[in-house]
């Protein structure tokens, strides 16, 4: 079975400081990794996925298969980045459609 671990429940950084939200996964096959974000009083929404290899709102994430990690990074945090962040995994192929989520990390950007 697959598992997603987000070791930090809460991460506080100052505005302008770099941010790294950690995500580790366990799955023996080929995974597809995602980062979802939930801003205050808003619904869960996709931030980025490793397949697209794009930068969204200044965030990037690289899939490291050797370390089974998919950390989310941003060089300079902004106050509007304060939100709940969830890392999620989907098994590629084998007719698997479910997302397996981590428990989430609450990012607080201090002005």
**Residues near other proteins, by CB under 8 A:** 4, 32, 36, 43-46, 49, 51, 86, 88, 90, 95-104
The CB-of-97 to other proteins minimum distance in angstroms stands at 5
Cβ proximity to other proteins: between 27 and 78 the closer is 27
On whether the CB atoms of residues 31 and 2 are closer than 8 A, the answer is yes
Cβ proximity to other proteins: between 19 and 47 the closer is 47
Cβ proximity to other proteins: between 46 and 110 the closer is 46
On whether the CB atoms of residues 11 and 19 are closer than 8 A, the answer is yes
Q: Is 25 exposed, middle or buried (0-12, 13-18, 19+ CB in 10 A)?
A: buried
The CB-of-17 to other proteins minimum distance in angstroms stands at 26
Q: What backbone phi and psi angles, to 5 degrees, belong to 36?
A: -110, 150
Cβ proximity to other proteins: between 14 and 97 the closer is 97
The CB-of-81 to other proteins minimum distance in angstroms stands at 19
The CB-of-18 to other proteins minimum distance in angstroms stands at 24
| DSSP code, position 64 | B
On whether the CB atoms of residues 6 and 103 are closer than 8 A, the answer is yes
């Amino acid at each position: 079975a697959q598992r997603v671990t987000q070791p930090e429940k809460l991460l506080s950084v100052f505005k302008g400081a770099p941010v790294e939200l950690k995500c580790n996964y366990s799955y023996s096959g080929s995974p597809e990794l995602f980062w979802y974000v939930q801003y205050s009083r808003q619904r869960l929404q996709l931030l980025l996925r490793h397949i697209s290899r794009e930068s969204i709102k200044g965030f990037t994430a690289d899939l490291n298969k050797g370390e089974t990690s998919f950390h989310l990074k941003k060089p300079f945090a902004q106050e509007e980045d304060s939100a709940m962040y969830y890392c999620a995994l989907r098994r590629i192929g084998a007719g698997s459609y479910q997302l397996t989520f981590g428990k989430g990390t609450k990012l607080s950007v201090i002005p």
